[in-house]
Amino acid sequence: SDELLRRYYNAADLFLFPSRMEGFGYAPLEAMACGCPTICSNATSIPETVGQASVLLPPDDPEGWARSIRDLLDDHEKREGLRMKGLDWVKRYDWKETARGFLGVYRETIDLGGQ
């Protein structure tokens, strides 16, 4: 359930997303929205989805993942900074804001068509 998933994100120290193939990648955004710092794959669309609000690593670099996990778990300040970046980043994916943006584009297009 969504509620159970939210509880897991809220309880986690980190969210790991080592995906090699992803269309969009909602899961890291869900984790960010719950204040969970993320470490994600730098493959496919994920870097664009998470921006600078996540640690990005090659999905096939287990040593790099282990180092990053250890680094963040050992450094509360760094983990908290990443948490705050995620909370700020995920705001851009608000559905109401997205709808307003599309509405603005449609209005501009209609206005240009009438000229």
CATH of the domain at 60: 3.40.50.2000
- Is pLDDT of 94 > 90? no
Q: How many distinct structural domains can be found in the chain?
A: 1
Which residue range(s) make up the domain with 104?
2-113
Q: pTM for this one?
A: 0.82
Q: CA dist 35 to 10, 18, 50, 64, Å? A: 7, 19, 14, 23
Mean pLDDT, residues 14-22 taken together: 94
CA proximity to 33, closest of 55, 69, 5, 70 = 5
54 near 29, Cβ under 8 Å?
A: no
Percent of the chain surpassing pLDDT 70:
97
* Mean pLDDT over the full length of the chain: 93
Mean pLDDT, residues 57-64 taken together: 98
Strand ranges for 3-114 from DSSP E: 15-17, 38-41, 55-57
Per-residue pLDDT, 114: 63
